[in-house]
Amino acid sequence: METDTITAISTPIGEGAISIVRLSGPEAIAIAAELFEGKDLLNVESHTMHYGKIMDPDTKEIAEEVMVSVMRAPKTFTREDIVEINCHGGLVTVNRVLEILLAKGARLAEPGEFTKRAFLHGRIDLSQAEAVMDLIRAKTDKAMSVALKQMDGRLSALIQRLRQELLETVAHVEVNIDYPEYDDVEEMSHEMMREKTKEVHAEIENLLQVAKQGKILREGLATAIIGRPNVGKSSLMNTLVQENKAIVTEVPGTTRDIIEEYVNVRGVPLRLVDTAGIRETEDIVEKIGVERSRKVLKESDLILFVLNNNDEMTEEDVKLFEAVQGLEYIVIINKTDLEKKLDLEKVKQLAEGNPVVTTSLIEEEGVDELETAIATTFFAGEIDTGDLTYVSNVRHIQLLKQSKQALEDAMGSLEMKMPLDIIQIDVTRTWEFLGEIIGDTASDSLIDQLFSQFCLGK
């Protein structure tokens, strides 16, 4: 079994200026203690966090102001002593901290090495370790691009089919208009258009939904836990981590490694970037106001909003509800073991249809329901990863969104019984947007296609 101490930088994707340098191994605490100016880390309690400074041994100057978490074996991810140094400065300072740690005898972790240790020490099983490694590999390996190509093949086929359907619809409408056999041809054409646009719209919507799921599967669901102080955010974080075995990954970046932490909830990887509490937001609204909080929270894919069952609703809770309005969130009413003072009806009303789950984290009640809520929020209960057509390309997603919008315009015009030639414009736009995805040149005009495919030339 490995006995040296490893280190790597964690730069949570999508986070602000906070980076974590993580140390794991028998010397982790000793190395950190030697550089740290603050409490004597050798003598602090396990799983505590401390403010202080990292001193540069060369210049004897302050390299960085930090928060350091000390976690002693065996209750850690790797089952070794772990120290996490939360740096607030930019990349340069973080890299400097890493350099100092390396100079003091830590070794730069190889990709996947924290996970490997967790596995070797029985913290996670092989399938979990493999899942992590797959995830890492998928981001870097050729396998990913091959897989993507296959998926792209499937995507082109699907896009071509959708275009064909639009084309046929337009063609039929043209034919109906050109060769009217009935008086109510307009009516009939409207009906046909309505049906087709609805169908294609549903397929595009599905593609976009799956694209979102694919992104989540690859990158994890950026998850924020919010709530007033003391409602149980840390407890929730701990529960999720313990129940689901947090998985730390490092992804080889261009210049350094990135460490992320995943909690796998029913197949949904939650990206809880920081277990030390920074990801947990208590006074966000208080500090920066509703509008700006919304901006920050918008970067999360999922918000776990914790309330206290034992407290009446406060002004702050209401403000948090405002801040999360329209975002993807789950309300967790915690501390159900204590006397009920929170008005459930009011909560449900404010939650506007978002899931409301009750828990007692202390008695480990309701956690199952919460996990179900998390899983269903994004996958409607099931994930079939094998057979999906993923759209991962940003440009493709953009074009799909434009197609969807154009179709919605067409559908709106249909509702209003606008003339068909107006509606055709939007359908044609949809057809063109879809064509851009698969690289069909816009120079082949719709009309040319119509004539070549349906021999409408008289």
Interacting partner of 49 out of ligand GDP, Zn ion, none (Cβ under 5 to 8 A depending on kind): none
Burial letters for 364-389: b for 16+ Cβ neighbours within 10 Å, e otherwise? Answer: eebbeebbebbbebbbeeebeeeebb
* Sequence ranges of the binding site: 22, 84, 123, 230-235, 249-255, 274-277, 458
Phi first, then psi, for residue 16 (nearest 5°) are -80, -130
CB-based closest residue to Zn ion: 234
Binding partner at 334 among ligand GDP, Zn ion, none, C-beta below 5 to 8 Å by kind: ligand GDP
Closest approach, Cβ 371 to ligand GDP, in A, equals 16
Structure tokens at 243: 């129940």
Number of amino acids touching ligand GDP (CB under 6 A): 15
CB 227 within 8 A of CB 305: yes
Beta-bridged to residue 356, according to DSSP, are: 331
CB of 326 to ligand GDP, least distance (A): 24
Number of chain residues interacting with Zn ion (CB under 5 A): 2
Q: Is 366 in the site for ligand GDP (CB under 6 A)?
A: no
Strand residues in 17-173 grouped as ranges (E): 19-24, 36-37, 48-55, 62-71, 82-87, 107-108
Cβ at position 375, least distance to ligand GDP in Å:
22
Judged by CB under 5 A, does residue 238 bind Zn ion?
A: no
Q: For Zn ion, give the closer residue by CB, 97 or 225.
A: 225
Query: Quick one: 106 or 285, whose CB is closer to Zn ion?
Result: 285
CA angle 354, 356, 362 (to 5 degrees): 145
- Residues annotated within the binding site for K(+) are 230, 249, 251, 254
CB of 403 to ligand GDP, least distance (A): 44
The distance of closest approach from Cβ of residue 102 to Zn ion in the complex, given in angstroms and rounded to an integer, is 32
Does 404 engage in binding with ligand GDP (CB under 6 A)?
Answer: no
Cβ burial 404-425 (10 Å sphere, 16+ → b, else e) = bebbebbbebbeeeeebeebbe
Which of 7, 24, 358, 360 touches ligand GDP (CB under 6 A)? 360
Q: Which of residues 171-190 bind ligand GDP (CB under 6 A)?
A: none
Residue 149's φ and ψ, nearest 5 degrees, are -60, -45
> Do 191 and 390 contact (CB within 8 A), yes or no?
no
Q: Among 37, 312, 337, 415, which residue interacts with ligand GDP (rule: CB under 6 A)?
A: 337
Asked whether the beta carbons of 243 and 367 are under 8 A apart, the reply is yes
Task: Rule CB under 5 A: say whether 46 interacts with Zn ion.
Answer: no
Which of 156, 160, 234, 402 lies at the binding interface for Zn ion (CB under 5 A)?
234
Q: Does 293 bind ligand GDP (CB under 6 A)?
A: no
**Pairwise CA distance, residues 28 & 26, whole Å:** 6
> Among residues 128 and 235, whose Cβ is nearest to ligand GDP?
235
Whether the CB-CB separation of 204 and 411 falls below 8 Å is answered with no
Partner from ligand GDP, Zn ion, none binding residue 227, C-beta < 5-8 Å depending on class: ligand GDP
Work out the number of other CB atoms within 10 angstroms of the CB of residue 346: 14
Residue 176: which of Zn ion, ligand GDP, none does it interact with, CB under 5 to 8 A by kind?
none
234 lines the binding site for ligand GDP (CB under 6 A): yes
163 binds, among Zn ion, ligand GDP, none (CB under 5 to 8 A by kind): none
Nearer to Zn ion, 233 or 279 (CB): 233
Q: How far is the CB of 296 from ligand GDP (least distance, A)?
A: 18
Q: CA 95 to CA 103: how far, in whole Å? A: 12
Q: What tokens appear for 174 in the block?
A: 């043209």
Is residue 354 part of the contact set for ligand GDP (CB under 6 A)? Answer: no
Pick out residues in 214-233 that bind ligand GDP (CB under 6 A): 227, 229-233
SS3 label, residue 318: helix
DSSP-assigned states of every residue in 173-197:
HHHHHHS--STTHHHHHHHHHHHHH
With a CB cutoff of 8 Å and minimum separation 6, the contacts of 325 are 294, 352
Residue whose CB is less far from ligand GDP, 111 or 232: 232
Label residue 267 left, alpha or beta by phi (over 0 means left) and psi (-120 to 50 means alpha). left
Q: Least distance from C-beta 291 to ligand GDP, angstroms? A: 23
392 binds Zn ion (CB under 5 A): no
Residues in binding site for Mg(2+): 234, 255
Binding site for GTP: which residues? Answer: 230-235, 249-255, 274-277
Q: Are 356 and 347 contacting, i.e. CB atoms less than 8 angstroms apart?
A: yes
Residues forming the site for Zn ion (CB under 5 A): 233-234
Residues forming the site for ligand GDP (CB under 6 A): 227, 229-235, 334-335, 337-338, 360-362
